[in-house]
């Protein structure tokens, strides 16, 4: 059976001291987890977290990757650089990057391609805004976002992880109900099935105010293969509770 994946997204949070404590607390409590695990840390802390996670079952994730390979792109970080720090996953197309950094569907698709080319698994985020949901456009929006990634990545699409993150649920405390999330996941799964013979092995994560209290019911849905966790990933006990719910 496909193992679930619980991935934390620390966003722009942390410090050397706070990261050290958080990861040590998680490692002490995690035991033999049934799921795969990762933490997405700010780029400046990759080296520190690589050392703290060495030899453990928790993988390292980055929060972004350049769409370019190398060269005059001030401030950007390439896939090859991430790879040098043991990065296994990279979040691409998070709604905060789409919203605040103008990332288009095409840029997100290129970033996913760049990650795959470096042997890093992209966690591709898709999701609708509240206005789009209220206008009945949820399926149209997530399918358009995913279609760009499928178009650019061809048969390699079976190597990505997809995270459905309704924008209105991120950091707001409002979660999609398990049924609402499952409905969109089923749409995404059908789209992936049409694009790949291996769609069943693609992990579809849910993200958006997943927490210790609601994780089990979300993770029980047939097409929810894990979670992308923001706020709750910054509290060791909450993150551990979510990990324990992912079996
Ligand atoms: C996220 O940033 O990907 C996220 C899901 O955040 P939160 O869990 O805080 O809503």
CATH number at residue 84: 3.20.20.70
Q: How far is the CA of 166 from the centre of ligand 1 (A)?
A: 10
CA gap 87, 192 in Å, rounded:
25
**pLDDT, position 230:** 97
Residue 93 Cβ contacting ligand 1 at under 6 Å: no
Q: Is 101 a catalytic residue?
A: no
Q: Which residues sit opposite 205 in a β-bridge?
A: 163
Catalytic-role residue among 84, 165, 185, 198: 165
Tokens of 74: 């001030």
Return the number of other C-beta atoms located less than 10 Å from residue 131's C-beta.
10
Say if CB 127 and CB 208 are below 8 A apart: yes
CB within 8 Å of 18: residues ≥ 6 apart: none
pLDDT of residue 174: 86
Q: Structural domain tally of the chain?
A: 1
Is 169 within a domain?
A: yes
CB 133 within 8 A of CB 152: no
The whole-number pLDDT of residue 115 equals 98
Nearest CA residue ID for atom 8, ligand 1: 230
pTM assigned to the model:
0.97
Q: One of 94, 103, 128, 185 is an active-site residue; which one? A: 94
Residue 227: inside a domain, yes or no?
yes
Which range of residues forms the domain containing residue 143?
5-66+76-245
Instruction: Decide if 189 is inside a domain.
Output: yes
In a domain, 185, yes or no: yes
Q: Which regions of 93-150 does DSSP assign to beta strands (E)?
A: 121-126
Q: Taking phi first (over 0 means left), then psi (-120 to 50 degrees means alpha), and beta for anything else, what does residue 144 get?
A: alpha
List % helix, strand, coil for the chain (3-state, nearest 5): 50, 15, 35
How far is ligand 1, taken at its centre, from the CA of residue 206, in Å? 10
Q: Characterize 176-190 residue by residue with b for buried, 16 or more Cβ atoms within 10 angstroms of its Cβ, and e for exposed.
A: bebebbbebbebbbe
- Indicate whether residue 231 lines ligand 1 (CB < 6 A): yes
Six token digits for residue 50:
């690589």
Binding site membership of 226 for ligand 1 (Cβ less than 6 Å): no
Q: State yes or no: is 151 an active-site residue.
A: no
Structure tokens at 25: 């607390």
- Is 183 domain-assigned? yes
CA 64 to chain centre: 11
On whether residue 71 sits in a domain, the answer given is no
CB of 10 closer than 8 Å to CB of 234? yes
Judged by DSSP in three states, 54 sits in: coil
Residue 175 has a pLDDT of 87
What are the 10-residue block averages of pLDDT along the chain, 247 residues in total?
Answer: 95 98 98 96 98 98 98 98 98 97 98 98 97 96 98 95 96 91 98 95 96 97 98 98 97
To test the pocket of ligand 1, the residue of 38, 166, 207, 241 to mutate (highest count of ligand atoms within 8 Å of its CB) is: 207
């Amino acid at each position: 059976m496909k193992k679930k994946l619980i991935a934390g997204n620390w966003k722009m949070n942390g410090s050397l001291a706070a990261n050290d404590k958080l990861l040590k607390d998680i490692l002490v409590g995690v035991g033999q987890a049934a799921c795969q695990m990762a933490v997405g840390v700010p780029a400046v802390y990759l080296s520190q977290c690589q050392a703290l996670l060495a030899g453990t079952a928790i993988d390292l994730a980055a929060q972004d990757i350049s769409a370019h390979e190398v060269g005059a792109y001030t401030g950007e970080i390439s896939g090859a650089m991430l790879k040098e720090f043991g990065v296994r996953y990279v979040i691409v197309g998070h709604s905060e990057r789409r919203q605040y950094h103008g990332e288009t569907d095409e840029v997100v698709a290129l970033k996913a391609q760049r990650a795959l080319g470096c042997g890093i698994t992209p966690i591709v985020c898709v999701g609708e805004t509240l206005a789009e949901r209220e206008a009945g456009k949820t399926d149209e929006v997530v399918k358009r976002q995913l279609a760009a990634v499928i178009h650019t990545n061809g048969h390699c699409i079976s190597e990505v992880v997809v995270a459905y993150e309704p924008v209105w649920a991120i950091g707001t405390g409002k979660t999609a109900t398990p049924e609402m999330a499952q409905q969109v996941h089923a749409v995404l799964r059908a789209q992936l099935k049409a694009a790949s013979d291996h769609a069943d092995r693609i992990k579809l994560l849910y993200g958006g105010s997943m927490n210790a209290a609601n994780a089990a019911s979300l993770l029980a849905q047939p097409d929810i293969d894990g979670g992308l966790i923001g706020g709750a990933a910054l509290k060791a006990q909450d993150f551990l509770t979510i990990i324990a719910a992912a079996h």
